[in-house]
Amino acid sequence: MTDDTRSHPGFGGRIGRTREQSEAWWPPVAGAPPGSPNVVVIYMDDMGWADVGCYGSEIETPNIDALAARGLRFNHYTTHPICSPARAALLTGRNAHSVATGWLSNNNPGFPGYSGDIPLAAPTLAETLRAAGWATIGIGKWHNATNGATPNAHWPTARGFDRFYGFLEGETSYFFPARIVHNNIVAPIDQYPADYYATDDWTDHAIRFVREVRNERPAQPFFLYLAYNAVHGPLQAKDVDLAKYRGRYDAGWDALRAARLARQKALGLVPADTALSPRDPSVPAWDDVPDDQRAMFVRHMETYAAMLDCVDQNVGRLTDLLRELGELDNTIVVFSSDNGGTSSGGPTGALWFNRRFAGLAPLPVESDLERQDWIGTGRTAALYPMGWGQVSNTPFPSYKTYTGGGGRRVSFIVSWPKGITDAGAVRTQFAHVTDVMPTLLELTGAPPLTVSHGEPAWPMQGASLASVMRSVEAPAPRTEQYYECWANRAYWRDGWIAVSLQKRGGEIDFDSWTLHHQPSDFSESVDVAAEHPEVLRSLVEAFDAAAWANTVYPLDNRAPIQKFNQLPPHQRPPAAGNRRRFVPGGQTVHRGTIVPLITDRSFRIEVRIEHGARDAGVLFAIGEVIGGMVLWVEDGALRFLYNGFGEFSELAARPLAAGARTVGLEYEALGGRRGRGRLFAGDGTHGEWGGLSPSLMMGFHEGLDIGLERRAPVNWPLWEQHGAYRYGGTIHDLTIESGAFAPDAPHAKG
């Protein structure tokens, strides 16, 4: 036997005919340098600049305040003013439009800046830290994938997270999350425990995953992205937290807003001469709010405060874990929000704010007054009046989706006891959400990726704030930034901010600019465009250049019904006559599959069953407390309830005989968002037509359940009595046959 050895491509040793003749080799294992810090990003949703205690709030946030006491607060940190874009920018270090996320990921209007999926060539913070040796954990809200139904290249575990537990879309119930995903599997949850609350659940899993990492690899640093959906609507809170805030907001939004500014001045967060921006013209003075509405308005804000208080308690739980592990001092914790407080609830708030997604006007305030005790519970999807949004954004004007200060300026706290020498200080330098990733990479020493998913990696556009964290005297790492959301625009440069706000749904006004000088006008309350036309002109030109460079154009100012229901051709509703068969035994069918089949159109739903005389339960349910329909059997009869986004209708019950039956619903769309329906019980006859309005469109979170009603119910009293109410007979299948669209339906012309 000859004693020769050979190499092998990619193998660093030598291979002979026997082990004795060979030289073993193992590829090097990537690992973070010893002593590398953990990274925790706690990301809030729709939380305004002034909502936590250390930014002037009356809400009790001692654990978040403690982060600031161990670290730094920034008073001029900005963001893209809506969820998906802010998250895309945070996770890539790039402007949102440049990574195809200039709008919500649920929608794809067919332009490069808005397709909704972060390009694979743009590496995420999770991908970068994982490649450098960090364990990576994603928790809570994702909202950076257009496809939430099936695993794909844009789900969290495909974009760098070893573990993920949360939901993929923009919002969900706190008591009944619609579709929790655990890694790449939809969690098989039919019914939640009575004490379930999402904020607690997210933290439970964050703590569990961190403990698992420590049990497996005691020295490996971890990156935890803890993206709470709080304090985004629906406003829902636990009773124990609500009890703490009863009565605290009776003085109303004008008094609360003034008190927050006073505290901000006392904290040294704002200059002593800072003025409140004028009250929004759509917001009445509190003294002018009708007496019968004040208690309801207060209840909204009590719920909001309770939700944030609960987050703070959970931040405390996470801090306790880090302290228990002995790793609090060497953990970089970032706490911030994706955008500011919202105006989506309108002047009087709404118990069904999702009506706007479905192109419906708010319900009359009188209707909400009758149900005001539902605010804060899981029974409705409530959102506060916009006056409380102004309180959240104190002292700035405007709101989420707008590029004024209230939309784009949010709190930003970074804590790292081992690396910050002037804990408790305030930084006044300009910073933007795109700066977070380069900052964390510099602080951890993790190198940016040069290749991402087989392509040359796109470089980050943000700049590291590490020098600013080290020294209060360090200049801001960059001096300009553009902003755009829903055709609202802004451009900041060297202390000047030009802002253009649009009237929603109207023709875009390209000349509607105001100009503000922030060194002398912290709250952006004074328009100085007339005094400095040359400055304004320069900023407008700079915005235009940045917009072309970052694929911001074309601007889109369409009304909500058009923007929220924009779909690419392959996702648009099928033509009349389409039949889809669904079988029981699987998880909830995603709403994106079901809604096109029934959206403002006629349809027929048939359920083939083997029914026994004593069988009862839900045959099918579509939707939830926000809107939908449920067909069930009880006391020997077929029964049906329709929830038209807070407008409830029932059809007359139909006797149901035992045996093989095809039962179901016929629905006729009449136009003007009106409709009617009738039941059939498999005996060759139909029930009487009954009004079922308004016709359903996008806006609810749950899809189709067959044989039970999972999680959030369409019919609250039925759920209180029976829970998921699994049907006792046999269901063979369910078929939806789509009919004609209503003549004025948005999808009628394709």
CATH code of the domain in which 723 resides: 2.60.120.200
Environment class of residue 582 by beta-carbon count within 10 Å: exposed (0-12), middle (13-18) or buried (19+)?
Answer: middle
Per the domain annotation, does 398 fall within a domain? yes
Handedness of CA 704, 706, 709, 711 (dihedral sign): negative
Does residue 659 share a domain with residue 555? no
Take residue 584 and report the two structure tokens written for it: 């029981």
Per the domain annotation, does 3 fall within a domain? no
Does residue 349 share a domain with residue 256? yes
Does 748 have pLDDT greater than 70? no
What's the whole-number mean pLDDT along residues 179-188? 95
pLDDT value of residue 80: 98
pLDDT value of residue 749: 60
Query: H or E segment at 549?
Result: helix 533-549
What's the whole-number mean pLDDT along residues 548-572? 88
Helical residues (DSSP H) of 246-290, grouped into ranges? 253-267
pLDDT band for 575, please (50, 70, 90 cuts).
confident
Burial 446-477 (b: 16+ CB within 10 A, else e): bebbeebeeeebbebbbbbbbbbbeeeeeebb
pLDDT value of residue 125: 98
Per the domain annotation, does 731 fall within a domain? yes
Does residue 535 share a domain with residue 677? no
Per the domain annotation, does 550 fall within a domain? yes
Q: What is the DSSP string of 380-449?
A: SB-B--HHHHHHHTTT----TTS-SHHHHB--EEEE-TTT-SSTTEEE-S-EEGGGHHHHHHHHHTPPPP
Catalytic-role residue among 83, 97, 516, 701: 83
pLDDT value of residue 489: 98
Query: What's the domain range around 192?
Result: 38-483
Does 3 have pLDDT greater than 80? no
What's the whole-number mean pLDDT along residues 496-519? 96
pLDDT band for 2, please (50, 70, 90 cuts).
low
Q: Are strands 579-582 and 730-741 parallel, antiparallel or unpaired?
A: antiparallel
Half-sphere exposure of 741 (CA within 13 A, CB side): 16
Cβ neighbour number for residue 194 with a 10 Å cutoff: 6
Per the domain annotation, does 647 fall within a domain? yes
The residue whose two tokens read 């048939």 is 606
pLDDT digits (tens, 9 = 90+) for 129-178: 999 999 999 999 999 999 999 999 999 999 999 999 999 999 999 999 99
> Residues of the chain with pLDDT > 70: what percent?
99
Per the domain annotation, does 9 fall within a domain? no
Does residue 492 share a domain with residue 445? no
Does residue 445 share a domain with residue 357? yes
pLDDT digits (tens, 9 = 90+) for 487-505: 999 999 999 999 999 999 9
Q: For residue 453, what are the CA distances in angstroms to 91, 440, 458? A: 16, 22, 11
CA distance 698 to 623: 10
Does residue 419 share a domain with residue 290? yes
Does residue 511 share a domain with residue 436? no
Mean pLDDT across the chain: 96
Determine the 3-state secondary structure of 76 from DSSP.
coil
Give the CATH number for residue 340. 3.40.720.10
Return the ∠ at Cα 570 (arms to 564 and 574), rounded to 5°. 85
Does residue 294 share a domain with residue 255? yes
Catalytic-role residue among 76, 97, 143, 432: 143
Does the predicted model carry a pTM greater than 0.85? Answer: yes
Does 750 have pLDDT greater than 70? no
Which one of 454, 483, 512 terminates a domain? 483
CA distance 76 to 256: 22
Q: What is the DSSP string of 372-395?
A: GGGTBSTTSB-B--HHHHHHHTTT
CA distance 412 to 431: 9
pLDDT digits (tens, 9 = 90+) for 411-450: 999 999 999 999 999 999 999 999 999 999 999 999 999 9
What's the whole-number mean pLDDT along residues 684-695? 95
Which residues does residue 222 pair with via DSSP β-bridges, in sequence order?
A: 135
Does residue 370 share a domain with residue 232? yes
Query: H or E segment at 21?
Result: none
Which residues does residue 74 pair with via DSSP β-bridges, in sequence order?
A: 412, 427
Cβ neighbour number for residue 282 with a 10 Å cutoff: 12
Does 573 have pLDDT greater than 90? no
Take residue 467 and report the two structure tokens written for it: 């020098």
Which one of 563, 581, 614 terminates a domain? 563
Least confident of 45-49, 111-115, 268-272, 567-571: 567-571
Backbone angles phi, psi at 137, to 5 degrees: -130, 125
Which one of 529, 563, 597 terminates a domain? 563
Does residue 659 share a domain with residue 586? yes
CA distance 665 to 649: 14
Does residue 491 share a domain with residue 474? no
- 537: Cα separation from own chain's centroid: 35
Q: Is 143 marked active-site?
A: yes
Give the CATH number for residue 515. 3.30.1120.10
pLDDT band for 398, please (50, 70, 90 cuts).
very high
Cβ neighbour number for residue 21 with a 10 Å cutoff: 14
pLDDT band for 329, please (50, 70, 90 cuts).
very high
Does 707 have pLDDT greater than 70? yes
Take residue 264 and report the two structure tokens written for it: 């901000």
Count of structural domains within the chain: 3
What's the whole-number mean pLDDT along residues 732-741? 97
Considering only the C-alpha atoms of the chain, give the largest distance between any 2 of them, rounded to a whole number of Å: 101
Q: What is the DSSP string of 529-543?
A: TTT-HHHHHHHHHHH
> Residues of the chain with pLDDT > 90: what percent?
93
Does residue 610 share a domain with residue 478? no
Per the domain annotation, does 313 fall within a domain? yes
What's the whole-number mean pLDDT along residues 165-193? 96
Per the domain annotation, does 664 fall within a domain? yes
Let me know: does 536 contact 498? Beta carbons within 8 Å: yes
Determine the 3-state secondary structure of 675 from DSSP.
strand
Q: What is the DSSP string of 575-618?
A: PTT-EEEE-TTSSPBPHHHHHHHHTTEEEEEEEEEEE-TT--EE
Determine the 3-state secondary structure of 744 from DSSP.
coil
Least confident of 468-477, 559-568, 650-659: 559-568
Q: For residue 716, what are the CA distances in angstroms to 7, 353, 379? A: 70, 18, 7
Backbone angles phi, psi at 499, to 5 degrees: -130, 135
The residue whose two tokens read 């060759």 is 684
Q: Is 701 marked active-site?
A: no
As a whole number of Å, the CA-based R_g of the chain is 27
pLDDT band for 323, please (50, 70, 90 cuts).
very high
